[in-house]
């Protein structure tokens, strides 16, 4: 999947709404360790929330962009406040079904 369509992004936002952040980006920023944590979290799920703490050196938007770039196949879905939503399709068994295009 090259990039997400508007409908796909809206569907993912709806699915991400009840999720809790499982990765936190702190004062060190987006480090190799943080990227590994995100990759590990995305192996068990396709959609995760990440919390960018106030002490982080970059904004939530920049952190989300950096993580999406550094995670192979990662897509930035949404940034609200200091919370980032990332999506990565599971190549073996995708669990998220997108609505069919009209």
Residue 99 has pLDDT above 80, yes or no: no
Residue 7 has pLDDT above 50, yes or no: yes
pLDDT (tens digit per residue) in 15-54: 999 999 999 999 999 999 999 999 999 988 999 999 999 9
Residue 1 has pLDDT above 50, yes or no: no
Whole-number pLDDT of residue 97: 82
Locate 4 and state its tokens: 């997400």
Instruction: For each of the domains in the chain, give its residue range(s) and CATH number, in order of start.
Output: 6-88 (3.30.110.60)
Q: How far apart are CA 20 and CA 16, in angstroms?
A: 8
pLDDT, mean over the chain:
91
Whole-number pLDDT of residue 102: 54
């Amino acid at each position: 999947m090259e990039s997400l369509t508007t409908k796909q992004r809206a569907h993912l936002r709806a699915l991400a709404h009840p999720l809790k952040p499982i990765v936190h980006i702190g004062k060190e920023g987006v480090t190799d360790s943080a990227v590994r944590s995100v990759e590990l979290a995305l192996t068990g799920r396709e959609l995760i929330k990440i919390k960018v703490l106030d002490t982080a050196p970059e904004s939530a938007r920049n952190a989300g962009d950096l993580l999406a770039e550094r995670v192979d196949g990662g897509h930035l879905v949404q940034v609200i406040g200091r919370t980032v939503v990332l999506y990565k399709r599971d190549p073996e068994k995708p669990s998220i079904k997108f609505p069919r295009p009209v």
